[in-house]
Structure formats: structure tokens, C-alpha cells
Chains A and B, each alone.
Chain A
């Protein structure tokens, strides 16, 4: 799939995220919108996966460590054939498969996530297991930036470089915000790129809303060790009233607010 095609789909994906934010339960809209383009590029142009056979043994593996961005993942799953788009309307509903954090019962989900700081360890295990089996599949893990405050992430970071896992890529959705404010106010992460480099990771810094830049970093030739893509993103990206707003972390929209958000999104999509 070419990137021009994805450039149109990214707006449909964001509309779906907003629709889940307008569901009775609401959703982690801000961090879903910041991750939307990363997930769009991954599923649209990077991951070798088969929606018709999610358990295909030769698939690349993806772990959404920032599980609270589940709305973005469902929206992307609906776009690329893992999920009937109509099922997005069951988000948060009893008896459904679309929880506020992803469940393994949904085909395509490798691991249930939501408790931060688990995903990269799972990725290290997957990458090590695939490498020991001389398999060529790659492993991608998407983390939130606030998530990097969990100490277990750095245990996994050390393991990834120590084991030389060239088949492992971490992506950090660097939107700069967490519930209580900016990451730098809460528990500072900078100098983030230096930190990853110091831990032995090949470090890429890209605009996390530039599809070509994301694609370039995510498909760079594998090296002798793990890679991290620090994707600079905007929390609430694409919806002016949510962009870089602390309150966009978790949003429950009434119909009027939903319409306002959609109108803002459409203004952006025409720009």
C-alpha cells in the first residue's frame, strides 16, 4: 500500500477514534490520536500480517504496550480488515470484544496490555524466541512516553541491547503528556534520545505525523541491535480542540461535542 493512500485513510481512522470517544464509556482519545499515524503506517505499510489469518505463524509481531490507545488500534484494525468497521460501535459494551484496553480474545492482539511497562519485555521475549528459531519475522512494540517512567521498561531496554536483538523495534509515542500534565513536569524524560543511545539502541527521531518519515525509520535495514523510533507527536492530533490539551487524555463526548470535534477534524483533513 502506498503512503498517499494512507494519507487519506488516517482521517477515517481518526473519525472512528472520535466515535469511540463519543460512546457512553468515552475513550483515551488524546493518546489514541497521537498514535494514530504510527499505527496507520505500521498496519498499512510495515507489518507483514494477514488479517484473514491473524495467527499466521510467519507474521510480524506487534505489541501495543500503551494499551490505553486501544481505540486507535481498533480503528486501524477496522481499516485494514482485522475487524468489521461496524464492530467499533460495540466499543466498551457488555459482551463485546473491544475493551478500554485490548484483550487477547480479539484476533490480532498478541498480548492483552494496559498495565504500563509490560510490552517491551514481551517484545524482547518474542524477538529472542524468533531469533533462536532462526525466523525472519520482526517485532514492533509501541510505548507511550509517560510509560517510560516505569522501571520495568528499562529492564527490557537493557535486555534488548544486551541480547543484540536486531529484529526488535520500539516506537515511543512522544506526545509529551500524561494524565497529570506534561511528562517533563511529572517525571522528566529528557534527554530521551541520549538515554536510549546510552542504553545501546539505534535511535531514530522522527515527526510522528509524517507518514514518509515514520515509514523510513520503521523499515530501515535491520542492524546488529534493537532500534527505537522516537516519534514526536501531538496529543489529540488532528482535532484542534484536543491538541496539546491535558484534558484530552480521556474524553467522553456528548453529541454536540462529538460534532464539534468532527468539524475540527474535517477542517484539518482538507488542509
Chain B
């Protein structure tokens, strides 16, 4: 897959990659589209793209309104004429509302449609469960040909967006909504399908995906170190295809794996990791994620995650008990 060696941003890294992945994605998309006329931004009244992208590149923009089933079909049709559509919607609307069009028209045909979704997991915060997506990864990782990417921060979002333009098939890129902590603080090598070792360690492994989960995993690494436990932290930004080698290595070299995700404990990262180790190298796996149920609590993304049981404390406890 495409190797993205980051340019050296020097001291401006922190300013450049501060803020929400979503905002950064929009800047990068504009940048990419300026250089590649095949790229077309397909909007579904998400808000903001009309003033940004459409104002700059009107010929590479189309808004199909609040109609997600049609959105996916239109994108598939555009791709069949040689375009690279970047589809914009909310994760729940892509993965559940328009799931069939995503499955058959986009994924089934192996077309180069890039479905970029926001409001992954609980990042919709106070917007409530209609705007949360806690089953999206479980669904989309079963779809054929689809590459599924969940960047951990803005720096990774940029690398992921640049990488998926040249990926021949369809991609599902899951972003959050609001600003999240920076995870990658210096240049690093990003390859689709390869986990990033964010912290080294050889007692236990914490495998995480998405902004807060990877952030929690890094914090857990520090706390575990204080207790004499050396925790490897993997940022598993690509859910499909899964970096099985990194997971099997973790299963072989450490005494167990803790998975952390902003998603139901059913079928997401934890499920995917468990599938791999069960088959190739059985080891204890503890899944930190959202419990089964319909989550209609009110709160911010961080508050909801804590209520749902996705927190640094939970990760530390699970890792220490391995």
C-alpha cells in the first residue's frame, strides 16, 4: 500500500495538527482536489462544505441534499465514469441508513468511492443516539473490498486522506466531530493496513483505534509504567484489512491484549482482534468498548465515553489484570 512519509513540519506541528479531524480533512480534501480533477466532493447537506469546498472548486462539488441512499448510488455512478468521489455524511447515515447502497453499489462493485464520515462512535456527544454510530465498524468491516480507516488525530487524518486517494477500491474513513487530543506528536510513517507502534512495551499490548481510545491507551501506558508494567501501544488505524502480523506478534510477545474503541464491544476492534488471535495465536483479550444497549445518556463525547466504560482507568485495570 501507499507509504506516506510525512514532511518535516518542525515547530508548527502542534499548530498545524491541532483541532478536529473533520476540519483538517476538509482542508486536505480541498488541497488534493485542486491537484487532481478526478476528485469530486459529494455532499449531503453536511454543512460547511458549501462555503469551503464548493466556493473554491464548484466544478468538483455536488450536493444531493438530505438523501443518503441516493448519495451512495450517485457516488457509485460517478465513480463508474472515472471520478474519485469523496462522499460526505454522518457515520450512522452511511453505515446503517444507506447500508445496502454502500454494500451493493459502492463496495460490491469495488469502485473508488471514498466514504468519509463524521460523528463516529459517541463523538456526536449531546446530539444523542441518532447521531452516534456505535455499530458502524462492525457493519462496514464485513463489506466486500472496503478499506476501513479510523485515524487517531488530525496528523493521521491527513496521512490517511492522502493515502486513500490512490487506493483503487472503496474506502470508509471514520472521523469524529469535535477536537480531540493530539496523539502523534512528531512525524511518523503511515501505511494503510499497518499498525503504528505508538509506545513500545513487552508485558502487555494495548490495541486502540480512533482519537480518544488511542489517547487513553497512551495515558494508560504511562500509568502502567508507574506500576512496573511495560505496555505496548498500537494505533490500529486500519480496521480492514487488519494488520494481523502486528496482532499475532503482540499475542506472541506479550501476555495478553487489551483493545480500546469508541464502538460497541460487539463486532468492532475487539471482535476483529479476537478473531485473529483465536485462529493464529490464542491469548487473553480484554475488550474495552461500549456495552450492548441503546445509549441515550446526555453528555459530551468524553463524558459519554466515561459513562459507557471507555476510560483510562478501565484500560489500566484491564491491562494490569492480564
| Cα–Cα distance between A225 and B100 once the two chains are bound (Å) | 28
Which residues of B53-93 have CB atoms within 8 Å of chain A's CB atoms? 59, 62, 64-65, 67, 69-70, 72-83
Residues in A with CB closer than 8 Å to B62 are 128, 163
Chain B neighbourhood of A195, CB < 8 A: none
**Interface of chain A: mostly helix, strand, loop or mixed:** helix
The answer to whether B69 and A152 touch across the interface, beta carbons within 8 angstroms, is yes
Would A127 and B77 count as touching, CB distance under 8 A? yes
Partner of B104, one of A118, A125, A130, A159: A118
State whether the Cβ of A18 lies closer than 8 Å to any Cβ in chain B: no
Which A residues between 45 and 102 are near B, CB-CB below 8 angstroms?
61
Instruction: Give the residue of B59, B70, B81, B100 whose beta carbon is less than 8 angstroms from that of A156.
Output: B70
List of A residues within 8 angstroms of B104 by Cβ: 112, 115, 118
A124 near B80 (CB under 8 angstroms)?
no
- Across chains A and B, the number of contacting residue pairs, with CB separation under 8 Å, is 95
Q: Which residue of B lies closest to A104 (CB)?
A: B109
Which of B69, B82, B108, B109 interacts with A121 by CB under 8 Å?
B69
| Interface flag for A176 (CB, 8 Å) | no
- Chain A hits for B118, CB < 8 A: none
Q: Which residues of A contact B78 (CB under 8 A)?
A: 125-126, 128-129
Q: Is the CB of A130 within 8 A of B81?
A: yes
Chain B CB count within 10 A is highest, among A117, A126, A129, A162, for A129
Q: How far is the CA of A160 from the CA of B116 in the complex (A)?
A: 24
New contact pairs (7) apart from A121-B69, A124-B73, A155-B64, CB-CB < 8 Å: A111-B109, A112-B104, A115-B104, A122-B76, A125-B77, A152-B67, A152-B70
Q: Which residues of B contact A (CB under 8 A)?
A: 40, 59, 62, 64-65, 67, 69-70, 72-83, 100-101, 104-105, 108-109
18 contacts between A and B (CB under 8 A): A121-B69, A121-B72, A121-B76, A122-B77, A124-B77, A126-B77, A126-B80, A126-B81, A128-B62, A129-B77, A129-B78, A129-B79, A129-B80, A129-B81, A130-B81, A133-B81, A135-B81, A156-B70
Q: Which residues of A contact B (CB under 8 A)?
A: 61, 104, 110-112, 115, 117-130, 132-133, 135, 151-152, 155-156, 158-159, 162-163
